[in-house]
Amino acid sequence: MNKLTKVAAVTFSSFLVVGLGSVAALADTSPAGLPSVPPPPVKAPLRPHVHGTIESVSGDVMTLKTASKTVTVKLSSGTVYDRGPAQTLNLSDLKAGAEVDVDGNWDNGTFDALHVHLEVPHVHGTITSISNGRLTLKTPDKTVTVKLSSGTVYDRGPAQTLNLSDLKAGEEVGVDGSWNNGTFDALHVHLAPPHRDGLPGHPGKKPDGLGGKITGITSRSLTVRTPDGRTFVVSLTGNTKLESGPQSIGTSALQAGKDVHIRLVGGEQVPPPSPSSTSTLSKTISNLTAAEVDLVPPHWDGTITGVQAASVTVKTNSGQTVTLNLNSHPLIQRGPGNTSSQLTVGMKVHVEGTADGSTVSPTRIDIHP
């Protein structure tokens, strides 16, 4: 290459570098008066996860049958085992046939387990009879015989223990336990709160009850606005039971803005909405009498956005983000079509409990389809 050619090449290279730098500078500069466009958010990856049924456990190796394949799970001294918050297990508690969720990492086709969660078999339904240490339970798809024992624990929520004598026909329960030749052996029986028909998460099904928000109260009546926009004036009598869960309350606890479920006296029914929605919403419906008023605890509806060992993050339908503290041992209810009580990202849930800022101690979590 002669001297003139070298000079030309150097000049062209310098122009190219300066030119590209100018283009880059222009690309990073927004037009005057317009905000700069931020880079797209980077989503944190979810920890690898497998779910299935144990086929065998041998030493530090567990073979798991998932929905699509068989997985070899490697266990170690650092693997944590549990059956829920504050219910730790040992490797010896895992048996063939049990259903588990495993968090960990893939390593050359083998799954190294960090956390193994044992799924507890669960049935949910309405008690039809109680006799000789057994419950007969009507579930959405069949009738189940539940065997009780001296080790069965009964409760209505955190620190609200019950006895077998507190269970009555017609009540709704969730039962954890194990199957034994077609009979369900109960470890834990949880008495569900009353249905709150017409409230968020509890669509109205029973004509003898209504749910909504208190808009007015006197010593003898409640004025309630239901989610469909109708207004009801319901009479209170000396026989009307006022409750918040299992506890009796006074009328002073019933305040405007709070949600209630009202069960009417026998024979009375909530009139159906009129075909003319305008005339229906403009009327106040009275001549109803309350047999029972249940003050509904605070509740949230939303989608799970994060799952940790002892907490769950939920984005509510109103845009609020709340953290559920699972150390409160909430009842987890599965809706139709849900086969697992394990909470996972993307699930839609209805939550009841108490709040301290953005942290919620749930007493009940309903999983929606």
Query: What is the per-residue pLDDT for 208?
Result: 59
Q: What percent of the chain has pLDDT over 70?
A: 73
Three-class secondary structure of residue 210 per DSSP: strand
Topology of the domain comprising 49-118:
OB fold (Dihydrolipoamide Acetyltransferase, E2P) (2.40.50)
Topology of the domain comprising 122-191:
OB fold (Dihydrolipoamide Acetyltransferase, E2P) (2.40.50)
Question: What is the rounded CA–CA span in Å between residue 262 and residue 226?
Answer: 11
Nearby residues of 98 by Cβ (< 8 Å), 6 or more positions away: 53, 54, 118, 119
In the chain, the amino acid numbered 118 is: L
Query: What is the per-residue pLDDT for 19?
Result: 47
Task: Summarize pLDDT for 198-256 with one digit per residue, the tens.
Answer: 444 444 444 457 888 899 998 889 999 887 788 889 999 888 888 876 677 888 888 89
Q: Is the pLDDT of residue 158 over 70?
A: no
Question: What is the rounded CA–CA span in Å between residue 95 and residue 282?
Answer: 62
Let me know if domain 299-368 sits in CATH 3.40.50.300: no
- Beta carbons within 10 angstroms of residue 108's beta carbon: 5
Task: Summarize pLDDT for 35-73 with one digit per residue, the tens.
Answer: 444 454 444 345 688 888 899 999 999 999 988 899 999
**Contact yes or no for 83/90 (Cβ under 8 A):** no
Q: How confident is the model at residue 315 (pLDDT cuts 50, 70, 90)?
A: very high
Query: What is the per-residue pLDDT for 71?
Result: 94
Task: Summarize pLDDT for 74-89 with one digit per residue, the tens.
Answer: 999 999 888 755 566 7
Question: What is the rounded CA–CA span in Å between residue 175 and residue 329?
Answer: 14
- Beta carbons within 10 angstroms of residue 148's beta carbon: 19
Q: How confident is the model at residue 361 (pLDDT cuts 50, 70, 90)?
A: confident
Topology of the domain comprising 209-271+278-295:
OB fold (Dihydrolipoamide Acetyltransferase, E2P) (2.40.50)
Query: What is the per-residue pLDDT for 170?
Result: 83
Q: Which strand (E) or helix (H) includes residue 190?
A: strand 183-191
Query: What is the per-residue pLDDT for 118?
Result: 81
